[in-house]
């Protein structure tokens, strides 16, 4: 095997599987998303028993009791808490479901532990249905990040807005990223994305996701769609898709991402994958808390489950 350094490159500069043995998973959130973040942690450990996972939690305003309670849902994992202060990142006005916490992931460039070289970033409005170790070994092909193509943003429109070439381009969803942190640090790439946010702010429809796509335009690895299944993906699309960056390598999702405002914990909102969230949440101590916060009574949950049983994507079962 060629000599590898800590960033997972050999002497020729080719991408190889990272030699970092700990699987670093980063999340960014505040007290409002504690139950949802804990739900992600729980699902990761349940689907990867025995995996050497370390959670890097970029958070703000959590009490020690809240932290210990979250740690309890991920037995066997290490947890590093990084407090994001007012001076660490710029102000960012709330925009519906987008708020300042979306910028926390950009802070990984300077706030992650020194021994973190590769890291998987995951949004809190996600539920995992596969083994994180599969994603950890994704080949980034020499790129600093890998992500799944977004199924909403119009590429020509985005390219035109920012003066970018649209041919053979794609726009990725930033809710799930595999990051070569050494490369990001070397190029100060997240800092550049943050500068872009500061400069353009209200012109950005999707906040730092737009900024990241600008910085990494035509320079990111393709992660297969099964690792970031979004609301507008249908079974028919999966069967007929021909674009290389949208081909499924697995028959069922590995990760469901509840993009937009159609969150599975919201009342009277239908999302085809909503029950996957509740199925995992019931294995955590946060079930009743989420039900009470969002007024999801038993009747609401029964309706969600019934819809799931009747309308779930073909061949999909929860474990």
Sequential DSSP letters for 199-262: HHGGG-TTTHHHHHHHHTTT-SEEPPGGGSB-TT--HHHHHH---GGG--SSSS-SEEE--TT-
pLDDT cut 90: percent of the chain above it = 62
Across 96-128, b (16+ Cβ under 10 Å) vs e yields eebbbbbbbbbbbbebbeeebbbbbbbbbbbbb
The answer, yes or no, to whether residue 102 has pLDDT greater than 80, is: no
Q: Kind of pairing, strands 255-257 and 23-30?
A: unpaired
Mean pLDDT of 7-31: 66
Output the average pLDDT for the chain. Answer: 86
CA distance 226 to 206: 22
Orientation angle between helical segments 208-215 and 155-162, nearest 10 degrees = 80
pLDDT cut 70: percent of the chain above it = 84
- CATH code of the domain occupying 23-227: 3.90.550.10
The answer, yes or no, to whether residue 29 has pLDDT greater than 70, is: yes
The answer, yes or no, to whether residue 16 has pLDDT greater than 90, is: no
The answer, yes or no, to whether residue 74 has pLDDT greater than 80, is: yes
HSE-up of 96 (CA within 13 Å, CB side)?
Answer: 8
Task: Give 202's pLDDT tier (boundaries 50, 70, 90).
Answer: confident
The answer, yes or no, to whether residue 64 has pLDDT greater than 80, is: yes
pLDDT at 5: 30
Across 151-163, b (16+ Cβ under 10 Å) vs e yields bebebeebbeeee
Q: Of 68-77, 120-129, 214-223, 261-270, give the lowest mean pLDDT range.
A: 261-270
Dig out the tokens for 143 from the structure. 């790129």
CA distance 22 to 247: 29
pLDDT at 17: 45
Mean pLDDT of 44-72: 96
Are 26 and 112 in contact by the 8 Å Cβ rule? The answer is yes
Contacts of 144 (CB under 8 A, 6+ apart): 179, 180, 183, 184, 187, 189, 216, 219, 220
Are 58 and 105 in contact by the 8 Å Cβ rule? The answer is yes
Give the model confidence (pLDDT) of 209-239 as tens digits. 999 999 999 999 999 999 999 876 655 666 6
Mean pLDDT of 182-187: 97
CA distance 36 to 291: 12
- Distance of alpha carbon 234 from the chain centroid: 20
Backbone phi, then psi, for 201, in 5-degree steps?
30, -95
Q: Where are the domains of the chain?
A: 23-227
pLDDT at 100: 64
Task: Give 7's pLDDT tier (boundaries 50, 70, 90).
Answer: very low
Residue with tokens 């190029």: 187
């Amino acid at each position: 095997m060629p000599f590898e350094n800590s960033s997972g490159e050999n002497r020729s500069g080719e991408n190889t599987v990272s030699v970092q043995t700990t699987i670093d998973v980063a999340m960014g959130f505040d007290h409002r998303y504690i139950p949802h973040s804990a739900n992600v942690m729980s699902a990761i450990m349940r689907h990867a028993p025995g995996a050497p996972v370390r959670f890097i939690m970029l958070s703000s305003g959590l009490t020690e009791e809240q932290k210990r309670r979250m740690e309890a849902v991920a037995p066997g994992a290490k947890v590093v808490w990084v407090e994001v202060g007012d001076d660490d990142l710029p102000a960012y006005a709330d925009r519906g479901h987008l708020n300042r916490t979306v910028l926390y992931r950009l802070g990984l460039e300077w706030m992650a532990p020194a021994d973190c070289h590769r890291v998987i970033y995951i949004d809190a409005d996600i539920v995992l249905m596969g083994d994180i170790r599969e994603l950890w070994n994704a080949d980034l092909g020499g790129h600093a990040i890998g992500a799944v193509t977004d199924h909403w943003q119009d590429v020509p429109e985005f390219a035109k807005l920012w003066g970018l070439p649209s041919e053979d381009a794609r726009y990725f969803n930033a809710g799930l990223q595999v990051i070569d942190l050494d490369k990001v640090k070397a190029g100060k790439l997240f800092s550049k994305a943050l500068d872009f946010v500061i400069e353009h702010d209200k012109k950005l429809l999707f906040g730092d996701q737009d900024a990241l796509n600008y910085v990494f335009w035509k320079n990111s690895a393709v992660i297969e769609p099964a690792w970031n299944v979004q609301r507008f993906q249908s079974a028919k699309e999966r069967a007929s898709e021909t674009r290389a960056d949208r081909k499924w390598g697995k028959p069922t999702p590995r990760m469901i991402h509840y993009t937009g405002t159609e969150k599975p914990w919201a009342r009277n909102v239908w999302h085809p994958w909503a029950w996957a969230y509740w199925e995992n949440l019931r294995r955590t101590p946060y079930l009743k808390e989420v039900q009470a916060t969002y007024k999801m009574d038993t009747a609401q949950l029964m309706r969600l489950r019934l819809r799931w049983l009747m309308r779930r994507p073909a061949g999909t079962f929860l474990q």
